[in-house]
Amino acid sequence: MIVSGLGIGAMSLMYPLRDGPAPKTGAVEVPAGSDFEGKREDTQPTLPGGEAAPKPAEAPKIEPPATEAGNPVNEDATQPASKPETGEPEGTLTPPADAAPPAETGRDDTAPSPVTEVDQPAAPAGDDARISTDPAQPAAPEAPEEKAFPEQDKAADVSPGAEDGAPPVPPQRAEPLPSVTDEEPEAERPRIGTPAGSLTDKDEPAQVVTEDTTPPIRANAVAFENPEAKPLMSVILLDDGTGSVGAEALAAFPYPLTFAVDAFAPDAPDRMARYRAAGFEVMALLDMPQGATPADAETLLRGALNKLPETVAVMEGDATGLQETKPVSDQLAAILTETGHGLVLFPKGLNTAQKLAAKEGVPSATVFRDFDGKEQDAQVIRRFLDQAAFKARQEENGVIMLGRMRPDTISALLLWGLQDRASSVALAPISALLLAQKP
Between 62-66, 69-73, 249-253, the lowest mean confidence (pLDDT) is in: 69-73
Give the best-scoring range by mean pLDDT among 95-104, 173-182, 240-249.
240-249
Please check whether residue 287 lies inside any domain of the structure. yes
| Contact assessment for residue 257 and residue 280, using Cβ atoms and an 8 Å cutoff | yes
Closest by alpha carbon to 323, among 303, 343, 299, 302? 343
Closest by alpha carbon to 434, among 220, 212, 211? 220
Looking at 165-231, list the stretches that DSSP marks H as alpha helix, in order from N- to C-terminal side.
216-219
Euclidean distance between CA atoms 236 and 243, whole angstroms: 14
Please check whether residue 128 lies inside any domain of the structure. no
Please check whether residue 354 lies inside any domain of the structure. yes
β-pairing verdict for 399-404 and 258-262: unpaired
Residue 301 has pLDDT above 90, yes or no: yes
Closest by alpha carbon to 383, among 253, 391, 64? 391
Please check whether residue 207 lies inside any domain of the structure. no
Please check whether residue 376 lies inside any domain of the structure. yes
Please check whether residue 340 lies inside any domain of the structure. yes
Using DSSP's 3-state secondary structure scheme, residue 364 falls into strand
Identify the pLDDT of residue 158: 45
Euclidean distance between CA atoms 146 and 54, whole angstroms: 89
Closest by alpha carbon to 106, among 142, 149, 140, 148? 142
Strand-pair partners of 399? 233
Q: Is 24 exposed, middle or buried (0-12, 13-18, 19+ CB in 10 A)?
A: exposed
User: How does pLDDT run across 398-436, given as a tens digit for each residue?
Assistant: 999 999 988 889 999 999 998 888 899 999 999 999 999
Identify the pLDDT of residue 94: 54
pLDDT band at 8 (very low <50, low <70, confident <90, very high): confident
CA atoms within 13 A on the CB side of 257: 25
Residue 275 has pLDDT above 60, yes or no: yes
User: How does pLDDT run across 334-386, given as a tens digit for each residue?
Assistant: 999 999 999 999 999 999 999 999 999 999 999 999 999 998 999 999 999 99
| Contact assessment for residue 431 and residue 312, using Cβ atoms and an 8 Å cutoff | yes
Please check whether residue 387 lies inside any domain of the structure. yes
Q: Which is more confident, 439 or 107?
A: 439
Q: At what angle do helices 378-392 and 407-416 cross, to 10 degrees?
A: 50
Identify the pLDDT of residue 419: 86
Q: Which is more confident, 176 or 437?
A: 437
Identify the pLDDT of residue 63: 63
Q: How many CB atoms lie within 10 A of CB 19?
A: 6
Residue 289 has pLDDT above 50, yes or no: yes
Please check whether residue 116 lies inside any domain of the structure. no
Identify the pLDDT of residue 241: 76
Strand-pair partners of 358? none
**Cβ-proximal residues to 385 (8 Å cutoff; 6+ apart), any chain:** 371, 401, 412, 413, 416, 421, 422
Domain tally for the chain? Answer: 1
Q: Which domain holds residue 334?
A: 242-435
Q: What is the mean pLDDT of residues 264-288?
A: 93
CATH number of the domain within which 337 lies: 3.20.20.370
Write the CA distances from 385 to 104, 157, 400, integer angstroms.
Answer: 126, 119, 10
Strand-pair partners of 283? 260, 313
Q: What is the mean pLDDT of residues 186-198?
A: 56
User: How does pLDDT run across 65-113, given as a tens digit for each residue?
Assistant: 655 554 555 555 556 666 666 555 555 555 555 555 555 554 555 555 4
pLDDT band at 6 (very low <50, low <70, confident <90, very high): confident
Residue 138 has pLDDT above 70, yes or no: no
